[in-house]
């Protein structure tokens, strides 16, 4: 598998509206982002009526010109790099665990276990296996605490996603500051960290469309974020390796949670979500089919968590000060990330060499093309 090469993957279906946009798409020029999902454009742009465009949340990302009778909807490509998955990739994810070897590994794994226990305790959640042979209705199973209902699933997901977006931003910020401070290159780590942070935030934005959390819930998130951001910041200053390992273990838990959620939906135990359409923001972000369901979204989210699991465990295996991020140019696809917990340092080096080889071949091909 060649994996996902950054400048174009994740930009599936990119079409251009003018030569300027086409140029932007080819050059990956972020000042004028690529435009996608364009259909049947026939007339000049529509001047929006009503309140100021600046007050519309999707004004910078989506233009709907249906009202002009042109049947054209344009979704701008407004996000950082992220993979778009094939159906086979979505189903090639396995629940994996990396054995803790060093003292800092064991500390990171224990902290994740403690955080999970704390959250389960506060939210009153206990994972109870349904005893074999018990003939109970869905309502009884939920009442007895064997199954979560859709609202409980959503609360767990929203809380976890609001926290999951913190580490990548902290790591990106600290590495950015270090690069400025020491006046040296960051070895390609910053983008990967920031992409992870945005990816987690998109998970939150997606699930937020299903329910507006209560004031109490928001207060809980505010408190947790205040504590977690500052603690993670301090810990990353002391040991970035232990922090990436911690995130790797946290993402192992996220893969377990979403795998369980998928199994429950497919077994018909969350009937409220069985046929629920995918939110539009998710269709845009993961380039899903227009008729995609929430279940398809959860498969895509689980694949993202698998990427975080793989990337963070791999980064934790590197020399934090001197090594280049092997995923700066491309990432392995889900057939690798879903079945392998991480690259060891020597594997990361081979992967980077392979990327350099691909880059060289591409450069030679372009130079040969330009001569003909």
Which residues are near Fe ion by CB under 5 A?
A: 161, 164, 200, 203, 251, 254, 305, 308
Residue 80 DSSP one-character state: -
Cα–Cα distance list, 229 to 188, 193, 224, 226, 285 (Å): 23, 15, 8, 6, 26
User: Closer CB to Fe ion, residue 21 or residue 159?
Assistant: 159
DSSP helix/strand/coil, 63: strand
Q: Which is nearer to Fe ion, 25 or 315 (CB)?
A: 315
Min CB(101)–Fe ion separation in Å: 22
Closest to 349 in 3D by CA, of 367, 324, 368: 324
Between 312 and 317, whose beta carbon lies closer to Fe ion? Answer: 312
DSSP, residue by residue, 251-314: HHHHHHHHHHHHHHHHTTS-HHHHTPBPPHHHHHHTT--TT-BHHHHHHHHHHHHHHHHHHHHH
Choose between 203 and 330: whose C-beta lies nearer to Fe ion: 203
Q: In this complex, which beta carbon is closest to Fe ion, that of residue 251 or of residue 333?
A: 251
Closer by beta carbon to Fe ion, 74 or else 295: 295
* Minimum distance, C-beta of residue 119 to Fe ion, in the bound complex (Å): 15
Closest by CA position to 5, among listed 361, 367, 358: 358
Q: How far is the CB of 128 from Fe ion (least distance, A)?
A: 25
Q: How far apart are CA 22 and CA 19, in angstroms?
A: 5
- Shortest separation between residue 51's beta carbon and Fe ion, angstroms: 32
Give the nearest distance from C-beta 301 to Fe ion in angstroms: 6
Cβ–Cβ under 8 Å, residues 189 and 315:
yes
Shortest distance, position 71 Cβ to Fe ion, whole Å? 35
């Amino acid at each position: 598998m060649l994996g996902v090469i950054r400048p174009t993957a994740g930009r599936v279906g990119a079409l251009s509206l003018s030569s300027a946009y086409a140029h932007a798409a080819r050059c990956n020029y972020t000042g004028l982002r690529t435009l996608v999902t364009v259909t049947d454009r026939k007339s000049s742009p529509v001047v929006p009526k009503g309140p100021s465009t600046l007050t519309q949340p999707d004004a910078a990302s989506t233009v709907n010109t249906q009202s002009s009778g042109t049947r054209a909807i344009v979704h701008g490509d407004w996000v950082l790099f992220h993979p778009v998955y094939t159906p086979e990739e979505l189903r090639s994810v396995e629940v994996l665990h990396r054995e803790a070897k060093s003292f800092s590994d064991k500390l990171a794994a224990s902290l994740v276990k403690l955080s999970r226990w704390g959250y389960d305790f506060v939210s009153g959640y206990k994972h109870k296996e349904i005893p074999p042979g018990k003939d109970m209705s869905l309502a009884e199973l939920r009442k007895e605490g064997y199954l979560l209902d859709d609202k409980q699933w959503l609360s767990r997901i929203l809380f976890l996603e609001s926290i999951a977006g913190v580490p990548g931003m902290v790591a990106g910020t600290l590495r950015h500051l270090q690069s400025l401070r020491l006046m040296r290159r960051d070895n390609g780590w910053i983008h990967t960290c920031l992409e992870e942070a945005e990816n987690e935030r998109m998970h939150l934005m997606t699930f937020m469309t299903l329910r507006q959390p209560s004031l109490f819930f928001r207060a809980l998130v505010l408190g947790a974020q205040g504590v977690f951001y500052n603690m993670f910041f301090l810990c990353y200053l002391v040991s970035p390796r232990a922090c990436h390992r911690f995130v790797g273990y946290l993402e192992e838990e996220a893969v377990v949670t979403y795998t369980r959620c998928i199994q429950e939906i497919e077994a018909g135990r969350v009937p409220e979500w069985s046929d629920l359409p995918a939110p539009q923001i998710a269709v845009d972000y993961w380039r899903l089919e227009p008729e995609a369901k929430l279940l398809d979204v959860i498969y895509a989210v689980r694949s993202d968590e698998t990427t975080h699991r793989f990337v963070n465990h791999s980064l934790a295996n590197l020399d934090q000060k001197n090594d280049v991020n092997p995923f700066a140019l491309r990432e392995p696809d889900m057939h690798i990330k879903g079945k392998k917990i991480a690259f060891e340092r020597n594997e990361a080096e081979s992967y980077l060499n392979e990327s350099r080889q691909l880059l060289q071949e591409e450069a030679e091909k372009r130079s040969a093309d330009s001569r003909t």
